[in-house]
């Protein structure tokens, strides 16, 4: 589309490194400077002063590049990846490129996601899916010390054919919050 875009809100070296691996050339954020009066900005530009000494970009890019490659491999095996916050009853979809059903909402309320998922299951699998992945059951598994919850069901694809699908919810911890987070990996077990 030949649009020039600027990545705003860049605050860390890791974010900067990731954006550079995406060939992003225009960046704005606290990593360079905090908001300032016009005259102070002019002085900063004329003196060419940076608020932080920048590292060699190769040392920043390497972790971001490895993470990007790792995500590509994960998406090869698990074409549907969902990040959920059980504490806040929310989710967002990370990918669904080659999954059998593409009608899944991309973000929203976790309980609505489970209801939608159950509606795409074979009738005999619907209640099991809803009860297995209910917030109450997942919180119970988390509090019990389980690392994941796994279920195989039959799900209808966009082509109208039911296929076996494995859904695994992995409990993960973000050190900056006390919320219960889940990464869901789904894969078609048969084509």
Residue-wise pLDDT tens digits, 73-91: 888 888 888 999 999 999 8
Interval 159-169: pLDDT, tens: 888 889 999 99
Note whether 15 and 30 are within 8 A (CB).
no
CB burial readout 71-102, b (16+ within 10 A) else e: eeeebeebbbbbebbbeeebbebbebeebbbe
Cα–Cα distance, 154 to 165 (Å, whole number): 6
95-140, pLDDT tens digit by residue? 655 565 556 667 889 999 999 999 999 999 999 999 999 999 999 9
Residue ranges, comma separated, of all CATH 3.30.450.20 domains in the chain are 78-188
Average per-residue pLDDT in the chain?
81
Decide which of 3.20.20.140, 3.10.100.10, 3.40.50.150, 3.30.450.20 is the CATH code for 78-188.
3.30.450.20
> What's the CA gap between 111 and 113, in Å, rounded?
5
Q: How many CB atoms lie within 10 A of CB 158?
A: 11
Note the pLDDT tens digit of each residue in 1-58: 566 778 888 888 777 766 765 667 788 888 877 888 888 877 877 776 554 455 555 5
């Amino acid at each position: 589309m030949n649009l020039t875009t600027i990545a705003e809100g860049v605050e860390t070296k890791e974010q900067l490194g990731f954006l550079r691996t995406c060939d992003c050339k225009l960046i704005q954020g606290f990593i360079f400077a905090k908001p300032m009066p016009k005259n102070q900005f002019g002085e900063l530009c004329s003196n060419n002063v940076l608020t932080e000494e920048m590292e060699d970009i190769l040392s920043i890019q390497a972790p971001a590049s490895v993470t990007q490659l790792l995500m590509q491999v994960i998406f090869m095996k698990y074409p549907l990846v969902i990040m959920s916050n059980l504490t806040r009853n929310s989710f967002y979809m990370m990918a669904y490129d080659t999954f059998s059903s593409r009608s899944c909402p991309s973000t929203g309320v976790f309980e609505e996601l489970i209801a939608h998922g159950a509606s795409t299951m074979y009738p005999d699998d619907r209640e099991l899916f809803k009860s297995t992945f209910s917030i109450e059951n997942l919180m119970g598994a988390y509090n019990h010390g389980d690392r994941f919850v796994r279920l195989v069901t039959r799900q209808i694809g966009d082509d109208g054919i039911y296929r076996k699908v494995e859904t695994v919810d992995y409990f993960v911890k973000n050190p900056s919050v006390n919320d219960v987070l889940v990464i869901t990996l789904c894969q078609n077990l048969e084509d």
